[in-house]
Chain A
């Protein structure tokens, strides 16, 4: 599972990812910066503000494990929730949460 560079979008797997995050300055830039540096390309993006939150649906292309991107996005302080339309098979074996 070595990280690899971008591939042509025609050959890269496509993933749909939903994200809810705080509507703060640079929120979308913060999200997109992580998506880009972790090796994915935004093919489609839909954003809706709900009160002080943003609901974002992303269609992404990239050959790296999408679970890796999900865990990086979950680290962002203002991200409340990230869900994948389909959890990738085989990503992440047992993870025990020791404590906060």
Chain B
């Protein structure tokens, strides 16, 4: 068995049956081995960035390991954005790249790059394999490392000669599996009981830990008013009466006010990201803080916790739930106050009753949320549409919301949707994108056609980079600089060039019919939605400001003359 065959052998051992890749010179031995392998489906994307982001979407939607493969040099460097994206959002990913033959490393050989060196900051761990006999052990270790503790991408760089080298396996990695221990949560319970205005703050760590059910059990048993981060959307489900939704820069007034006025913040599976907290000095100024997370390095990183637990979230949440069920909290007044805030300070109703009026982003997303089934997977891109989805789409599960949270990668949505569709061929997957983001990985339309994926694409087109335009309007004196995209291609014709049927809508009365049409169609379909250029995402907190200083639409003052800059 050669090195390449040892990789496939590890795929079989770990039931890895779907990988996303793009061949090239130094990875050819692995592609040669794939020819004879009937159990691993290789998905050929049209750009290595698409491979990495599809592997990311596959992992987020399924909870399984995402795998991507590329060759040396440009193949590897093209993966980097997708791997960084996975790293920032703690997505379990295995990355395999070919490297120039061992004897040529360091000679500036054709398609040589120092992959190990240039990726150190975006991986959980990485390997440069020197001998094929190491591959089984490295694969075992990498697969388990990527998925354990706080997950993340693990990169294995393998010289071409090592992929071709015949070898017998050394012993496989001896990974220690610790069984969950019973956790003493008495101090946590005491602190929660002592609080008058306790607030639950959860993030992406809930689903990363597979603790969705335990979290809901605790949320229900405690009745704690709750806010979520962008990656925590869906944690509480659609029907939790105490859920105040997303906090932070584009969070609701209600969520940010609750954080501002709570006297205890129970942070679970979240890292107190700056987009969520705003200026740290003004964040939850009256609150003590409990921090529960899988990663010890997150505890006390940005704000000292008064009490913290590092470890298995399910274990902790189940212990907390038992304590809450044994003796419920008496926080009815605080619950009512938060509900009132949610009623008056939730995201403003966005429906427009005027049938011939232009489509607004929030109105469209609210309709989409009402029409799409609860188990629909929405893969967003990055920008205004991403925030409108976060604000106005009601998610029932965090794995239904795929979004690039930490890195904010434009171009994420389409390949991520492809990955999610491969995770479950029968699921309904919708890529909600903007005109800027869509063009960043539009080549993946060819992947949709090749594999006859039934996913739906909604392009919310405002003919500009809307989020940048918005911040230029609000924070740079309305001086628009390099945001104009009014020379976009005809997206309907573009989709049809890939054999993907497409529709265009532009009026409010066309929203329902447009959404119903693409969802009913048996196959991929694109809906091009023209929206107003000057719509903003409201509310907004100025970057670096306190969440207390939210700006809403009533404070909008448009400078009459826009200065177009080059």
Contact = CB atoms under 8 A, between A and B. Distances in A.
A97 B296 CA distance: 9
Contacts of A3: 302
A93 B124 contact: no
B297 A98 contact: no
B297 A72 contact: yes
A44 interface: no
Contacts of B34: none
A30 B121 CA distance: 8
Interface stretch (B53-61, B68-76, B175-183, B449-457): B175-183
Contact of A97 (B304, B305, B311): B311
A8 interface: no
A98 B120 contact: no
Q: Please classify the interface of chain A as helix (H, G, I), strand (E, B), loop, or mixed, using the class held by over half of its residues.
A: loop
A77 B124 contact: yes
Contact of A95 (B176, B178, B308): B308
A77 to B, nearest CB: 4
A98 B290 CA distance: 14
A92 B300 CA distance: 6
Contacts of A98: 180-181, 183, 309-312, 315-316
Interface string B121-134: 10011111010000
Given A2-B281, A78-B125, A98-B311, A29 B296 contact: no
Contact of B299 (A1, A33, A95): A95
A76 B124 CA distance: 7
Interface residues of A, number: 30
Contacts of B305: 93
Nearest to B142: A77
A25 interface: yes
Interface in B306-338: 306-312, 315-316
Highest count of chain B CB atoms <10 Å: which of A2, A29, A96:
A96
Contact of A75 (B295, B304, B307): B295
B303 A1 contact: yes
B280 A75 contact: no
B145 A99 contact: no
B310 A95 contact: yes
Interface residues of B, number: 41
Given A33-B121, A68-B297, A99 B304 contact: no
A89 interface: no
Contacts of B306: 93
Nearest to B291: A95
A50 interface: no
B103 interface: no
B532 interface: no
A93 B308 contact: yes
Nearest to A71: B297
A76 B126 CA distance: 10
Contacts of B273: none
Contacts of A67: 300
B556 interface: no
A1 B301 CA distance: 8
A25 B128 contact: yes
B116 A26 contact: yes
A86 interface: no
A100 interface: yes
A33 B125 CA distance: 13
Contacts of A78: 125
Nearest to A33: B120
A75 to B, nearest CB: 5
Contacts of B187: 94, 96
B184 interface: yes
A37 interface: yes
A91 B297 CA distance: 12
Contacts of A99: 178-181, 183, 311-312, 315
B128 A91 contact: no
Interface in A9-67: 24-26, 29-30, 33, 37, 65, 67
Contacts of A74: 296-297
Contacts of B312: 98-100
A3 B145 CA distance: 29
B297 A29 contact: no
A1 B302 contact: yes
A29 B118 CA distance: 10
Contacts of A100: 149, 176, 178, 311-312
A96 B293 CA distance: 11
Contacts of A77: 124-125, 145
Interface of B: 116-117, 120-121, 124-128, 130, 145, 149, 176, 178-181, 183-184, 187, 280-281, 295-297, 299-312, 315-316
Interface of A: 1-3, 24-26, 29-30, 33, 37, 65, 67-68, 71-72, 74-78, 91-100
Nearest 3 pairs between A and B by C-beta?
Answer: A98-B311, A100-B178, A71-B297
Given A30-B120, A100-B312, 17 more contacts: A1-B303, A2-B281, A24-B127, A25-B116, A25-B130, A71-B296, A74-B297, A77-B125, A78-B125, A93-B305, A96-B309, A97-B310, A98-B180, A98-B183, A98-B310, A98-B311, A99-B315
